[in-house]
């Protein structure tokens, strides 16, 4: 399930590779299980909207990927 993640405003903020979410620098941020986003400690923190290659975040999930 590789693809790009866009925030609610359409900005490219992260990417998915296998079962992990990485920031644009390549640092692992979260684990992905289905559509659910988990911290590496196992805490559920959000979910993705779509099942296609490119993902879009809800406004409530934007906070997981702060703007730089």
Give the Cα-Cα-Cα angle 7, 9, 15 (nearest 5 degrees). Answer: 25
Q: For residue 7, what are the domain limits?
A: 3-64
Contacts of 58 (CB under 8 A, 6+ apart): 8, 46, 47, 49
Question: How confident is the chain (68 residues) per 10-residue block, as mean pLDDT?
Answer: 84 92 94 90 85 69 76
What was the pLDDT predicted at 46?
86
What was the pLDDT predicted at 1?
66
Total structural domains within the chain: 1
Specify the CATH number for the domain of residue 26.
2.40.220
What was the pLDDT predicted at 47?
83
Contacts of 38 (CB under 8 A, 6+ apart): 30, 31, 32, 44, 45
pTM over 0.85: no
User: What is the β-pairing status of strands 20-23 and 12-17?
Assistant: antiparallel
């Amino acid at each position: 399930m590789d693809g790009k993640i866009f925030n609610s405003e359409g900005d490219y903020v992260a990417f998915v590779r296998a079962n992990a979410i990485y920031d644009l620098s390549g640092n692992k941020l979260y684990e992905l299980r289905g559509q659910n986003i988990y911290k590496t400690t196992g805490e559920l923190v959000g979910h993705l909207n779509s099942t296609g290659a490119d993902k879009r975040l809800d406004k409530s999930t934007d906070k997981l990927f702060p703007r730089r």
